[in-house]
């Protein structure tokens, strides 16, 4: 199931599955860092996993219902008799992985500051399952406010359990949605969290995130104007082919559609889904362009960059732009291990309606989509002009999915109210915090909803030209841009300055 309605899926830098939606079948199990080889003695892998008894409802004191929340801890970088610095990696909208307990830039900071490091899996994702299933009734306990309260209770319990210094300073880290949580945690619980590195976090909740595809289009233009023009032309050619029976048959073959499109042209949702699938291919590449993430190491996806895409899209050996678009689509199907392009709306909805922890949608798709309908919006629509990836997946198409999956209550009015509420609770782009750094990459479309400029020296912004989603969190690589390297150094200096005060 490639095309789920997770247009808004942010991104799961914490899972090996990465963007469940795109790479659903292309998963790397168990991580691939530090795997022993013949030259290195085999070291028994450490078990970092622990469980924490957490409250179900932090806002109903009388309710004693609890559940087991998964977390990881690594004490190796700290001194047992002097634990004055603790790091918290905030889990997000997917299963957590212990790969991060020994890798990533935060581990370098942990060595530098002798920090004990914790990672907490977000409620309702991975193995952190507060309720027996994912019914709408139970999902009312899945909110960012509950998740932040989980972290607050967790921190205060760990201070005792691990014998942390009485004046221990906690620094929170998070990328993507957890980047937002990192900032909000410092906002709501400043007495518990001393500072936060908030990476690629969208802080403004919006129903219609139409700027997303604007940034993707800009990314293509940075590669070449020809690339941008050719993509636009290709989508226009798709429009034309959809008009007649012969054209429709051509589309079936060109784009390897699972179901013949001529049977479904009257179904507006199917057509929207088809177009948004084609657009998402570009989004997925742009968002993660050359980011050196752990989850796609050694896979074909690692090698597909904006440059690759544009070299296909502008390859004049293939006469028509639409054929080049089809070549790119075929490559993405191979890379994501899909046999055909599945655009059937009804199939997607029925999979997303499944409330079982055993269902594929429970890997995060259903839960995160609920959070978008209930708190954030973030829908990556085709509403922005000039339209390059068609105009066929408007906001209404996304709202329709909220309603179809979670019920009539989740309509457009609800979404307007819900996103306004979120912005009021956290302050959106007007958030007032200290000891927080906001980090974004210019290639990453999510920067459009975050803080990229700040004149508050207590809450600075670092905007890295040319990098993608969460790039500063991954382990350094030889090909890193100098501005990425200096961003990592700057973040380290900020942490130092917070710890000094």
Catalytic residues: 176, 444, 469
Q: For residue 139, give the H/E element and its range.
A: helix 136-139
What's the min distance (Å) between Cβ of 80 and ligand NAG? 11
Please, what is the minimum distance in Å from the beta carbon of residue 273 to ligand NAG?
19
Compute the least distance from the CB of residue 318 to ligand NAG, in Å: 6
Q: Is 354 in the site for ligand NAG (CB under 6 A)?
A: yes
Query: Is residue 224 part of the contact set for ligand NAG (CB under 6 A)?
Result: no
Give the whole-angstrom CA distance, residue 307 versus residue 315.
12
Tell me the HSE value of 462 on the side-chain side, using a 13 A CA sphere: 24
Select 167 or 455, whichever has its Cβ closest to ligand NAG.
167
Question: By CB under 6 A, which span of 61-69, 171-179, 252-260, 377-385 interacts with ligand NAG?
Answer: 61-69
Task: Tell me the site size for ligand NAG, rule CB under 6 A.
Answer: 22
Q: Does residue 35 belong to the site contacting ligand NAG (CB under 6 A)?
A: no
Considering only the stretches 119-127, 256-264, 353-361, 476-484, report the one whose residues sit in contact with ligand NAG under the rule CB under 6 A: 353-361
Structure tokens of 351? 């999979």
Would you say 13 and 105 are in contact if contact means Cβ atoms under 8 Å apart?
Answer: no
Place of tokens 């700057």: 490
From 220-228, 309-317, 381-389, 452-460, give the range in contact with ligand NAG by CB under 6 A.
309-317
Among 118-126, 155-163, 310-318, 398-406, the segment contacting ligand NAG (CB under 6 A) = 310-318
Ramachandran class of 366: left when φ > 0, alpha when ψ lies in -120 to 50, beta otherwise:
alpha
Check binding of 318 to ligand NAG (CB under 6 A). Answer: yes
The b/e string for 159-183 (b: 16+ C-beta within 10 A; e otherwise) is: beebebeeebbbbbbbbbbbbbbbb
Residue 311 CB, shortest distance to ligand NAG, in Å, is 4
Among 224, 315, 330, 387, binds ligand NAG (CB under 6 A): 315
Segment near ligand NAG (CB under 6 A), from 10-18, 67-75, 352-360, 447-455?
352-360
Shortest reach from residue 280's CB to ligand NAG, in Å: 21
Binding mask 37-56 for ligand NAG (x = CB under 6 A): ----------x-xx------
Does residue 401 bind ligand NAG (CB under 6 A)?
no
- CB of residue 477 vs ligand NAG: minimum separation in angstroms? 13
Under the criterion CB under 6 A, does residue 32 sit at the interface with ligand NAG? no
Q: For residues 314 and 390, which CB has a smaller minimum distance to ligand NAG in the complex?
A: 314
User: Minimal distance in Å, beta carbon 427 to ligand NAG?
Assistant: 29
- Classified as helix, coil or strand, 198 is strand
Residue 165: CB minimum distance to ligand NAG, A: 7
d(CA 88, CA 116): 9
Burial class for 348, CB neighbours closer than 10 Å (0-12, 13-18, 19+): buried
Radius of gyration for the alpha carbons in the chain, expressed in angstroms and rounded: 22
Distance between CA 276 and CA 266 in Å, rounded?
17
The residue written with tokens 């610095």 in the block is: 85
Beta strand spans in 41-183 (E):
49-55, 66-74, 85-90, 116-120, 169-175
Helix, strand, or coil here: 336? coil
Q: Which of 83, 100, 106 is nearest to 158 (CA)?
A: 83
Closer of 113 and 368 to ligand NAG (Cβ):
113
Out of 135, 356, 496, 497, point to the residue binding ligand NAG (CB under 6 A): 356
82 binds ligand NAG (CB under 6 A): yes
| Closest by CA position to 213, among listed 423, 455, 378 | 378
Mark residues 359-378: x for contact with ligand NAG by CB under 6 A, - for none: x-------------------
Q: How far apart are CA 451 and CA 431, in angstroms?
A: 10
Among residues 27, 67, 75, 84, the one that binds ligand NAG under rule CB under 6 A: 84
Q: Listing from the earlier edge strand, what are the strands of the sheet with 169-175?
A: 49-55, 66-74, 116-120, 85-90, 169-175, 195-199, 436-441, 461-464
How many residues in the chain?
501
Q: Among 358, 408, 478, 500, which residue sits at the site for ligand NAG (rule: CB under 6 A)?
A: 358
Q: Which residue, 50 or 420, is less far from ligand NAG as judged by CB? A: 50
Number of Cβ within 10 Å of residue 446's Cβ equals 26
User: Does residue 65 touch ligand NAG according to CB under 6 A?
Assistant: yes
In the complex with ligand NAG, the residue whose CB is nearer, 69 or 381, is 69
Contact at 8 Å (CB) between 3 and 369? no
Pairing of strands 195-199, 436-441: parallel
Pattern 93-132, ligand NAG, x by CB under 6 A: ---------------------x------------------
- Residue closer to ligand NAG (CB basis): 77 or 209: 77
**Taking the complex as a whole, how short is the minimal distance between the CB of residue 49 and ligand NAG, in angstroms?**
4
| Minimum distance of ligand NAG from residue 51's CB (angstroms) | 6
CA distance 70 to 83: 22
Residues that bind ligand NAG (CB under 6 A): 47, 49-50, 57, 62-63, 65, 82, 84, 114, 299-300, 303, 311-312, 315, 317-318, 354, 356, 358-359
């Amino acid at each position: 199931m490639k095309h789920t309605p997770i247009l808004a899926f942010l991104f799961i830098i914490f899972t090996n599955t990465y963007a469940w939606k795109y790479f659903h079948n292309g998963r790397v199990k168990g991580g691939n860092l530090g795997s022993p080889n013949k030259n290195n003695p085999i070291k028994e892998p450490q078990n970092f996993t622990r469980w924490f008894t957490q409250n179900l409802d932090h806002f109903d004191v009388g309710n004693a219902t609890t559940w087991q929340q998964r977390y990881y801890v690594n004490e190796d970088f700290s001194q047992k008799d002097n634990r004055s610095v603790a790091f918290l990696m905030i889990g997000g909208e997917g299963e957590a992985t212990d790969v991060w307990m020994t890798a990533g830039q935060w581990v370098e900071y942990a060595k530098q500051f002798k920090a004990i490091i914790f990672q907490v899996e977000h409620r309702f994702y991975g193995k952190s399952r507060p309720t027996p299933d994912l019914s709408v009734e139970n999902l009312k306990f899945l909110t960012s406010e509950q998740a932040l309260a989980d972290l607050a209770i967790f921190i205060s319990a760990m201070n005792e359990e691990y014998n942390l210094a009485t004046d221990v300073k906690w620094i929170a880290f998070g990328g993507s949605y957890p980047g937002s949580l990192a900032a909000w945690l410092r906002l709501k619980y400043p007495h518990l969290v001393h500072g936060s590195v908030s990476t690629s976090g969208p802080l403004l909740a919006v129903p219609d995130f139409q700027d997303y595809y604007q940034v993707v289009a800009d990314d293509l233009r940075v590669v070449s104007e020809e690339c941008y023009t050719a993509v636009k032309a290709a989508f226009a050619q798709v429009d034309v082919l959809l008009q007649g029976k012969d054209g429709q048959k051509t589309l079936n073959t060109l784009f390897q559609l699972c179901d013949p499109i001529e049977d479904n042209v009257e179904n507006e949702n199917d057509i929207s889904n088809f177009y948004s699938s084609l657009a998402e291919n570009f989004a997925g590449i742009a968002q993660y362009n050359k980011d050196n993430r752990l989850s796609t190491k050694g896979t074909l996806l690692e090698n597909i960059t904006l440059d690759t895409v544009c070299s296909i899209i502008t390859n004049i050996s293939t006469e028509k732009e639409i054929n080049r678009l089809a070549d790119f689509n075929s490559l993405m199907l191979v890379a994501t291990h899909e046999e055909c392009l599945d655009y059937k709306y009804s199939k997607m909805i029925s999979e997303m309606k499944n409330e079982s922890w055993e269902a594929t949608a429970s890997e995060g798709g259903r839960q995160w989509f609920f959070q978008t309908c209930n708190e954030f919006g973030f829908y990556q629509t085709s509403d922005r002009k000039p339209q390059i990836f068609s105009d066929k997946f408007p906001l209404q198409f996304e709202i329709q999915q909220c309603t179809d999956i979670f019920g009539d209550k989740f309509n457009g009015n609800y979404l307007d109210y819900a996103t306004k509420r979120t912005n009021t609770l956290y302050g959106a782009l007007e958030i007032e915090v200290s000891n927080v750094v906001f980090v974004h990459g210019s290639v990453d479309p999510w920067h459009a909803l975050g803080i990229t400029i700040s004149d508050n020296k207590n809450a600075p912004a670092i905007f890295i030209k040319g990098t993608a989603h969460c790039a500063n969190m991954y382990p350094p690589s030889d090909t890193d841009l100098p501005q990425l390297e200096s961003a990592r150094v700057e973040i380290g200096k900020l942490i130092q300055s917070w710890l000094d005060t």
